[in-house]
Amino acid sequence: MAMDFGLVTWFDGKGYKVFFDGGIYEYPIGGLACEYSRFKPYTLKDVIMKCPVFEEAPSESTIDESAKWFSDVLFKEYDLVTAIMILTDMSNLIHDYLWAEDKYKKQFMDDLNEGLQDDKVKQYILENSGMDKFSIDTMGAIYLSAYAGFAGSYVAFRHSLDLLANDGGDDKDDVDAFLNFFGDYTEMQHIDYRLALIEGKFAEIFTIKSSMSLILFETAHVMDSETAIIKCKNCGQYFVPTGRSDSIYCSYPSPQDPEKTCKDIGAQVSRSNKEKTDVTTKEYRKVYMRYKMLMRRHPEEESYEEQFNRLTSEVKEWRNKLAHGMATTEEFLAWLTEFSENNPK
């Protein structure tokens, strides 16, 4: 049953068309991996903890009920590619845990439980679940076990995407190991290929059956087409610019306002950031000049020099806080006013 899952996509040489539930969704080359990279793996914990048959033992009915629930909730919570890939990886693992020979089932759990004490991710997954190790005793336990296995695959996917986006990155060994998937380890590719006749023409249809296969599939096309994968200047996530070549914002919901995309509000946000910087610089400049002049005119007065030094050292901390969003323009201006008032001339 699990083997029916996968990301089904048509590659026409220029881009992808993903087939899902009767619909067709277009993605640029690189766009599948970029969408998947927006997934935050820790968010899956809350989803799994709400499994309606969490406490129940695996049976035909609890397996079916949980499978249906899981698929529904994933497509509600996540973007299309992300939902399909989570479902694919998790279903394959659950399939293995349920139907492998007994000796392999035991091996799977032994592997997951090995080094549990030193593994922060696995500890996070088991936290507040009422379990202290991975098992297949209940449906909840099975999903959490699959989550632990899947988390490892996702980390490998993300690492590979970083290598790809950085144009090879710095670590040559990592890049070589990754490229071996196209040479020595081609059996690790889980990609089905078939031809279909679409509107009188043969189309190449691929079914991608694991997170690692998705990045391998994308890597081949990204490298062949010399596609640029860049980070959005607003949200910081990877995306493939498809419009003007100088586009710097992605078309996903922005962190500031999910109703608007980064492209919609990016320029405005950066303009208002610049305006804020201009205001703080202007106000600081006035205070700075005042203390500097005082110090010049009264070199004998040590307190002026002390005040000036304190001002220039404290402003460094404020600049740092402003740059990292740890303080607002208003807070900065309030500090500046207070400084002037408490250090009278």
> Per CB under 5 A, which of residues 199..258 are in contact with Zn ion?
232, 234-235, 250
Specify the residue, 262 or 311, whose C-beta has the smaller distance to Zn ion: 262
CB of 254 to Zn ion, least distance (A): 6
Q: Which residues of 249-285 are buried (b: 16+ CB within 10 A; e: fewer)?
A: bbbbbbeeeeeebbbbbbeebeeeeeeeeeebeeebe
> Per CB under 5 A, which of residues 299..328 are in contact with Zn ion?
none
CB of 23 to Zn ion, least distance (A): 24
- 12: DSSP letter: -
Residue identified by tokens 């679940």 is 129
Give the integer Cα–Cα distance in Å for 202 and 196. Answer: 6
Specify the residue, 43 or 337, whose C-beta has the smaller distance to Zn ion: 43
- 232: DSSP letter: -
Question: What one-letter code names the amino acid at 287?
Answer: V
Q: Are 214 and 202 in contact (CB under 8 A)?
A: no
> Per CB under 5 A, which of residues 261..280 are in contact with Zn ion?
262
- Cα angle 47, 149, 85; round to 5: 60
> Per CB under 5 A, which of residues 18..77 are in contact with Zn ion?
none
Q: Are strands 230-231 and 15-20 parallel, antiparallel or unpaired?
A: unpaired
Specify the residue, 231 or 321, whose C-beta has the smaller distance to Zn ion: 231
CB of 236 to Zn ion, least distance (A): 7
Give the integer Cα–Cα distance in Å for 29 and 214. Answer: 12
How far lies 67's CA from each of 94, 118, 173, in Å?
A: 10, 31, 39
Tokens of 314: 């404290």
CB of 250 to Zn ion, least distance (A): 3
Specify the residue, 60 or 259, whose C-beta has the smaller distance to Zn ion: 259
Closest C-alpha among 279, 336, 277, 278 to residue 312: 336
The helix (run of H) or strand (run of E) holding residue 11 is strand 7-11
CB of 119 to Zn ion, least distance (A): 32
Binding mask 74-103 for Zn ion (x = CB under 5 A): ------------------------------
Binding residue count for Zn ion, defined by CB under 5 A: 5
CB of 25 to Zn ion, least distance (A): 19
CB of 15 to Zn ion, least distance (A): 20
Give the DSSP letter string of 256-312: S-TTSBHHHHHHHHHHHHHHHHHHHHHHHHHHHHHHHHHHHH-TT-HHHHHHHHHHH
Inter-helix orientation angle 60-77/139-165, to 10° = 40
> Per CB under 5 A, which of residues 134..163 are in contact with Zn ion?
none
CB of 240 to Zn ion, least distance (A): 12
Specify the residue, 230 or 333, whose C-beta has the smaller distance to Zn ion: 230
Specify the residue, 47 or 235, whose C-beta has the smaller distance to Zn ion: 235
Specify the residue, 56 or 264, whose C-beta has the smaller distance to Zn ion: 264
Specify the residue, 2 or 229, whose C-beta has the smaller distance to Zn ion: 229
CB of 116 to Zn ion, least distance (A): 36
Q: Are strands 238-239 and 15-20 parallel, antiparallel or unpaired?
A: unpaired
Specify the residue, 84 or 265, whose C-beta has the smaller distance to Zn ion: 265
Binding site for Zn ion (CB under 5 A): 232, 234-235, 250, 262
